[in-house]
Chains A and B, each alone.
Chain A
Amino acid sequence: MNGFLDRVLGRVKLGGWLAVVAPLIAVVFAVLITSVVLLAAGKDPVLAFTTLADYGTQPRSMAMILNTGVMYYISALAVAVGFRMNLFNIGVDGQYRLAAVIAAGLGGAAVVPGVLNIVLVIVVAVVVGALWAAIAGLLRVYRGVSEVISTIMLNAIATGLGSWLVSEHFGVLTGNDLGTRPIPDDAHMPGIPLIAGTPVLVNGFIVVAVLLGIAYWVVLNRTRFGFELRATGKSESAAVASGVSVKKMIVVTMVMSGAVAGLIGMPELLGASYKYSNNFPAGLGFTGIAIALLGRNNPVGMAVGALLWSFLDNSSNQLQLLDISKEIVQIMQGVVVLSVIIAYELVHRYRIVAEQRRVSRELAAPQEAPKAEAAA
């Protein structure tokens, strides 16, 4: 009885359409705030936004937005796995950078030829990311160290370890740039000519990102493991009473999050720069946290968030042509995340109250009917 129509009409879950409305409101709100800031700085907000939009709809920019978005999306997935269990893996940043350094070093050494090298690089990256994250998981389980603290510290250690590996072991100097030996041509991830009208290819890892998104949804929503993970996230006490081993779940979730984090650097390493150097993108782990919040850990929501974020990042340089500081984009990104969180919380509270009212109304109705009959 509670079929499709009920859901469309919002009879079953008000969450349906409100879930879309909330982020929209948030984006509109962020545009308003940014406009106020622009006006205060004496700039024309309409011109600024049309410039951004113009740039963002050109084929070349769209391909670039997709390419950056792929990395952002994988990062958001890595963070979201932990979020669903109330684990805050702040260490995605260190996990992907360390994974990329070691994978780049091995890939550059070209131990195996061609496609095998691609596979080797990816597997090494996943394993390194997983192991690095496992440290935080084990510390939490056996020593009660908050994963927030330990992963932040592990980020710092990963930075140092990475620099040491590059300078002492994997490094070659090309001009002024110290980096790992480039991965040979036969082990490059092929690009896809996805967008017409531009020679810029879309990174082949977009396929991996989409598959990861689907896997994330399936594992969390359709498997016993995912059920236990979500149950632990919603109520640890209920999970314990139901026989879920919370300690095991913490370690496994942390390892999964780290394994996905290991993949974040792969589009860049195997599809763009082919080596790890000082120019390798940094801070993607923190972008992932923002996007996971923005997309509310929902695989589609995070994809939209990753593209929005990537669009803002890629087109921010255009603002400098208008003599507007590109940092205005960061203000906008910050406001979007904050307002999304607030908007969702308000919508969520509204939904619970509305649903309780609806349940009591529906239950009251049939009980009144017999009384009316008796009266008649």
Chain B
Amino acid sequence: MKILYGMQRPDEGEIRVNGAPVGFHTPADAIAAGIGMVHQHFMLADNLTVLENVVLGSEPRRGGLALDFAAARKKIKEISDAYGLGVRPDVPVEDLGVGDRQRVEILKVLYRGARILILDEPTAVLVPHEVDELFDNLRGLVREGLTILFISHKLDEVLRVADEITVIRRGTTVATVNPRDVTSRKLAELMVGSELPSPETRESTVTDVVALSVRDLTVRTGDGRPVVDNVSFDIHKGEVLGIAGVEGNGQAELVEAIMGMRPCEAGALTLAGADISQWSTLKRRAGGIGYIPEDRHRHGLLLESPLWENRILGHQTRRPNIRGPWIDRAGARADTRRIVEEYDVRTPGIDVDAATLSGGNQQKLIVGREMSGHPVLLIASHPTRGVDIGAQAAIWDHLRTARAAGLAVLLISADLDELIGLSDTLKVILRGRIVADVDPANVTPEQLGSAMTGAGEETV
């Protein structure tokens, strides 16, 4: 999608528009070829009017300097009427609702002459009747001969609006189907993969000592919409609790709430018997939560600092890094060498910047760091995302070993191999709610797929 819009370059392959091969270097090239993109997050300036937003960046000129607002208003009116968008050009964007804003975004790309529209998760922010209006608009656009690429996780919507469906899983095309020939169940199965990995046979190490208990956890966005909705679960010592779900269904917010990085309403949040709901992130970490963040570059590392300083990050209140108010350089450096050794971090030394390591080695360093200091609970958010296969296997091994030693693990992942291979218990999250409990030992792709995508809302 980013490649289609010229934001990234492909490594190989080619793109053809109307039969002619094209190469995009910037979004401007894509726009010139008639491709327009409506982003999931609106890119509008709130304090400007619809008209000003639409012309921003491609203002019609009059006499070289002056802006020709009259011509722009006329053109916007024409486009709006032609496709039945009903956009009022002189209203400030801040006064518009979400559905109207989306129509402004669509108008913006049409104004630039787009004949092919890419819509990225356009319904994510809409309420049902707005979705209906959007679909009416889209059908209008198609009638006028435009092409629309509609990207969504929601199967029922895709089935309703599309003329052809292509399923992509892990970056490859899995299938292209006709919506009249498939059911949403069949589609879900395609998305999940028809063969699920079978969990490795092994001794269960689950004990009945609860390490983390979460009750009625709710996280709201700024406008009060719940992104995590009444989530409750217990993780026992020696248990890996997997959370499966299509990305963007509240997993990140759930993790940040447990880490204390995001305000939440919770019935109770207890770690090894202690109420931690009022604790700061630092206290929660010191109290025994290890955290492998989803985005290691943003949350896990100081890229331009040496490895041994990264060893201190997040553990800056504990030995061997600290002695009183002082940094214990010798202690931190020695322990970094231990991690490099034990976790097989491939690096020429501990004085190189974290940025110079490969993703897999960066991740092994983080895993090693978060396993230090005997954590009670490890939150592993996409622990093997973007790492090579060797590092992936190593990280899985480390998680299994730690679990056998009594560590409780909250595993968030979009990788079903990982979830089914590691988890003792599997829960499915959809739109911020836990919608299903699944036994990883004998779940079928249909069950998992329909639970993850909301194709059927029943408990499996």
Contacts and interface: CB of A to CB of B under 8 A. Distances in A.
A241 B314 contact: yes
B285 A243 contact: yes
B49 interface: no
Nearest to B260: A243
Given A241-B300, A243-B316, 14 more contacts: A2-B349, A13-B351, A222-B329, A223-B327, A235-B298, A238-B298, A238-B299, A238-B313, A241-B259, A243-B314, A352-B353, A355-B353, A359-B357, A363-B347
Interface in B104-120: none
Interface centre among A226, A243, A362 (most CB of B within 10 A): A243
A226 B305 CA distance: 14
20 contacts: A223-B325, A223-B326, A224-B326, A226-B327, A227-B309, A227-B327, A231-B302, A235-B301, A238-B299, A238-B300, A238-B302, A241-B261, A241-B291, A243-B280, A243-B282, A243-B286, A352-B353, A355-B356, A356-B356, A362-B348
A231 B325 CA distance: 16
A359 B281 CA distance: 34
The 4 A-B pairs of least Cβ separation, nearest first, read: A243-B282, A242-B314, A241-B299, A243-B281
Interface string B262-297: 000000000000000000111111100001010000
B349 A231 contact: no
A13 B305 CA distance: 12
A225 B352 CA distance: 23
Interface string B396-409: 00000000000000
Interface residues of B, number: 42
A238 B352 CA distance: 19
Contacts of B41: none
A284 to B, nearest CB: 31
A242 B261 contact: no
Nearest to A359: B356
Contacts of B309: 227
Contacts of A225: 325
A12 interface: yes
B18 to A, nearest CB: 40
Interface size class of A (residues with CB under 8 A): 20 to 34
A235 B295 CA distance: 13
Nearest to A235: B302
A321 B55 CA distance: 59
B31 to A, nearest CB: 30
Nearest to A219: B325
Interface string A224-260: 1111101100110110111111000000000000000
Nearest to A362: B348
Given A2-B351, A355-B353, A363-B348, A242 B285 contact: yes
Interface in A282-341: none
Interface string A67-103: 0000000000000000000000000000000000000
A176 B47 CA distance: 53
B346 interface: yes
B313 A231 contact: yes
Contacts of B303: 234-235
Contacts of B304: 234, 352
B351 A359 contact: no
Nearest to A237: B298
Contacts of B301: 235, 238
A1 B298 CA distance: 31
Contact of A355 (B281, B317, B327, B352): B352
Contacts of B349: 1-2, 12
